Each structure stands twice: as structure tokens, then as C-alpha cells.
Copies of this chain bind each other. A is one copy, B any other.
């Protein structure tokens, strides 16, 4: 008994004793408010609520979970919270979930299979009521299995090839098309693409979007007009931009990068050979990172409603918890073109 006495919170029984009623009456009085009109006399109900308040009573979620099988907790799997993409998404998730009294359990997987497995175990044994999955590289078979067993799962920014799963994603293709369209409207005709890693879905989608929009605009694309970065880094961006700029004799007038970091690499490459943006080459980034408007020139970029992605994903989760057999929804959120100095000039030619 040397155990340190933790805060003794009032239990449902303490309330019952003070109110002079049976514990189960208290339980009913506190049960989901708008439920049925009167499971309990409204006078005694009022008294119970008052006493509960006075005693600072809080239902024990663990006990409730054990009894009902609902933890009011949702697991969120993501590669790395430190990736600036995720904090707004998580905020959106939390805000929506909070409205319904749900809470988020975060798991960082680092895109590591072993760690992912461990984290998933941890979430599962905590009895999460649903899963939000934003990890990119995993095969997903385990999630399909869980889903089949009745666990509501919502995907973020990914889809399974072989099965329809509820998901919320940004419309990357639409985004890159807006970018290409934008510079095209400014008069640019030699529009190159600094593509991202093709083993990432983002890199692949944005590349496809570039091809699609160029084709829609009736413009030819050949291999010399695209360079593939192996990473989303400014160094890789610089390397690729230098390659693009050095390849052909007629210089590009615009480069659409698959990512803001790559766009920064373009800035550096232009700098290195004495060219200027936007006077010589217009640059468009992708993601609208927080620093995009701080660059010189400020970077035109494609902004995604990340907070909304989280919010909508939470919405989907709640819907599926409420009605597991509801039709599966796949939501694509449209991006927004943010025009800044890096595409500041209309071409005179």
C-alpha cells in the first residue's frame, strides 16, 4: 500500500450514494442526452446531474470501453509528423473528431514495415474504433484484412489498387494541370516539368498531370522536356534544373516543378548561370509550403486544403462508425493556384 494515491475521481456510485438512488439510475441519467425522452424522472435526473457536477464526476472511459467495446478513439497512422504536410491534416482530424467526443491516437511509422506493425498493434490493443491511414509505402494487405473484419478504415492521399476503400485525397492531377494552364495562359510555350520521384504516388500523379494538360493544350512533350528527381530536395531540384537548362538550345521559358523544394532548386540553378526568375524563366512550385511566399521572388505554387483533408477524413470515419455498411465514398479535394512573383510576368512574345 505504499502505492501513491492517484487522484480519486468520483465514480457513478459516489454520485448514486449522495443522490440516494441506485447506480444504474445515475448511469441512465447520464446516458446519451437526446436518446429517449424519459428513461428517468426529470426531477431526479436534474438532481443527479447537479450532484455529478458538484462531485466533479467524469465517466471512466476505460470502464465504458470495456463494457461497450467502443473506445471513442481513432488511430491515425502516418509516416512522420515532422513532414509539414501532416500537422494541418492532423489538426483537421482532431477538430472534427473532438466535435463528437472522439480522440486521436497518433502513430508514426517512419515508413518502416516493422515499426508500422508495432505501432498498429499498439493502436489495436487500445481498441481504436477506426483507423485513418496516411502511410504511403505499405502494401496495405493488413488494412484490407482489418477492413474485412469490420474495422472502419479511411485512407488519406492514397488508394488501394485492388479494392475500393473510403478515402480522402487531394486532386494532384488537377493541381498540376492548373499550374501548366497558368503559365500557358501567360504566353509560355516551352514548358518543362521537373518531376518528382516516380516511385512515389505524388511524383507519378504530377507527372501524369503534366502530360495530360500539355496534351489538352495541344503541345508536344518529348523526353528532353522532363527531368526526374530522385528526392524531393532542393539539391536534386538544382541538379535537374541544370540538366533541363543545359539540354536544348532553345531555353525553356517556364518550369513546372513537382514540389516547392524542387522549385527552390530551380532558383539556385538559375542563379548559378546568371538567369533571373521570372524575367528569364518562370517557375511554379507545388504544395505551397509555408516558406513559399518568403522566397525571392515569392513562389507561385499549388495549395492544398490539408486541414480540410483531415476534417473530411474524420467526417468519413464518423459516418462509417455510425453506419458501417454505408456506401463507400472517395473524396477528391481540389487545389488552389496561388499566383506570386515567380510567374509574375506575362510573356510579350
Mark the stretch among A119-127, A175-183, A194-202, A311-319 that contacts chain B: A119-127
Residues of B within 8 A of A127 (CB): 60-62
* CB–CB B94/A106 < 8 A: yes
Choose among B60, B62, B63, B103 the residue that contacts A122 (Cβ–Cβ < 8 A): B103
Q: Please, how many angstroms separate the alpha-carbon atoms of A127 and B91 in the complex?
A: 22
Contacts of A220 in B (CB 8 A): none
Give min CB distance, A79 to chain B, whole Å: 11
A91 touching B108 in the complex, CB below 8 Å, given contacts A7-B151, A291-B290: yes
For residues 124 through 159 of chain A, which have their beta carbon under 8 Å from a beta carbon of chain B? Answer: 124-127, 146, 149-151
Chain B residues with CB under 8 A of A32: none
Given A103-B126, A108-B94, A150-B4: A62 and B58 interface contact (C-beta under 8 Å): no
Q: Are B58 and A66 in contact (CB under 8 A)?
A: no
Interchain nearest-CB distance for A132 vs B (Å): 14
Stretch at the interface among A14-22, A80-88, A209-217, A250-258: A80-88
Interface: A71 (CB within 8 A): yes
Q: In whole angstroms, how far apart are the Cα atoms of A82 and B87 in the complex?
A: 5
Complex Cα–Cα for A59 and B122 (A): 10
Q: Which residues of B contact A327 (CB under 8 A)?
A: none
Q: How many copies does the complex hold?
A: 2
Minimum CB distance partner of A72 in chain B: B126
Closest to A75 in B: B103
| Chain B residues whose C-beta falls within 8 Å of the C-beta of A80 in the assembled complex | 91
List residues of A (276-311) whose CB comes within 8 Å of B's CBs: 289-291, 294-296
A60 touches B125 (CB 8 A): yes
Q: Establish whether residues A105 and B105, one from each chain, have CB atoms under 8 Å apart when the complex forms.
A: yes
Q: Report Cα–Cα, A104/B63, bound state, in Å.
A: 20
CB-CB under 8 A from A294, the residues of chain B are 234, 264, 291, 295
Query: What is the bound-complex CA distance between A4 and B66, given in angstroms?
Result: 17
Residue of B nearest to A321 (CB): B4
A interface, how many residues as a size bin? Answer: 35 or more
A69 at the interface (CB under 8 A from B): yes
A27 within 8 A of B: no
Among B59, B94, B264, the residue within 8 A (CB) of A125 is B59
When the two chains form their complex, are residues A88 and B82 in contact, meaning their CB atoms are under 8 A apart? yes
The answer on a CB contact under 8 Å between B63 and A4 is no
Question: Do residues A91 and B84 form an inter-chain contact, with CB atoms below 8 A?
Answer: no
Q: Give the nearest-CB partner of A94 in chain B.
A: B108
Closest to A5 in B: B150
A230: interface (CB < 8 Å):
no
Chain B contacts of A5 at CB under 8 A?
A: 150
Q: Which B residues lie within 8 Å of A66 (CB)?
A: 60, 62-63, 66
CB of B81 within 8 A of CB of A71, answer no
Question: A271 — which chain B residues lie within 8 A by C-beta?
Answer: 296
Residue of B nearest to A86 (CB): B87
Give the CA-CA distance A59 to B124 in the complex, in Å.
10
Nearest Cβ on chain B to A273's Cβ, whole angstroms = 16
Q: Rank and list the top 7 A-B pairs by shortest CB-CB distance, nearest first.
A: A291-B291, A62-B65, A58-B125, A7-B149, A61-B126, A62-B66, A4-B324
